[in-house]
Amino acid sequence: MLTLALGLEAEGDLLKIARKTKTTFNDILIGDPKDLLRTANIFVRIIHEELSRPGTGHVYPSATGSGMHQASSPGEPPASDTEDLKNSIIAGLFGSGRTLFAGVSIDSSVTSKKKWESLEFGSKFMEPRPFIRPALRMGKQEMTQTYIKNSRKRIRRILRERRRSR
């Protein structure tokens, strides 16, 4: 199973929030695993949207025997014929304890590493059909803003609990 860890550029904003509220940075970053998973699910949704776009390339008989399939053109995300690639991409939490992080996995039992790498980066037989890098570019702002918004909510909750416990 391949894991792509999400790297968010929200740390600067979160550090400012931590200073203002006198909350430790660890409280924010460790936080609720649900927030991390929500962020990863945004990335998966965008990848799935990319993989749902129709192709504009060659038309040929479908591998599934269900009629004709129109492939993607070079530079477009892969046009799905079997949905295997799309169904193999899931969000999850990885690691343990204080090193928990969110990521997106491509299940190699469904789609081989060689297949998705050839699609994303191309091969000597095929031009690239990128779908991960464009999805990351498209979703970066939404993922970052979602993580910041949920972190702010968590900070407010932590502060309320601390006030009540005094």
3-state secondary structure of 123: strand
Classify residue 152: in a domain, yes or no: yes
Dihedral of CA 95/4/144/91: which sign? negative
**How many domains, in total, are found in the chain?**
1
Classify residue 166: in a domain, yes or no: no
Chain-wide mean pLDDT for the chain? 76
Print the domain residue range for 88: 2-157
Classify residue 54: in a domain, yes or no: yes
Classify residue 24: in a domain, yes or no: yes
pLDDT category of residue 7 using cuts at 50, 70 and 90: very low
Q: What is d(CA 9, CA 99) in angstroms, rounded to the nearest whole number?
A: 18
Q: What is the mean pLDDT of residues 132-150?
A: 85
Classify residue 15: in a domain, yes or no: yes
- The better pLDDT of the pair 29, 34 is held by 34
pLDDT category of residue 72 using cuts at 50, 70 and 90: very high
Mean pLDDT comparison of 85-89, 113-117, 118-122, 144-148, highest-scoring range: 118-122
pLDDT of residue 109: 64
pLDDT of residue 157: 80
Classify residue 60: in a domain, yes or no: yes
- Choose among 44, 34, 32: nearest CA to 6: 44
Classify residue 163: in a domain, yes or no: no
Q: What is d(CA 48, CA 79) in angstroms, rounded to the nearest whole number?
A: 11
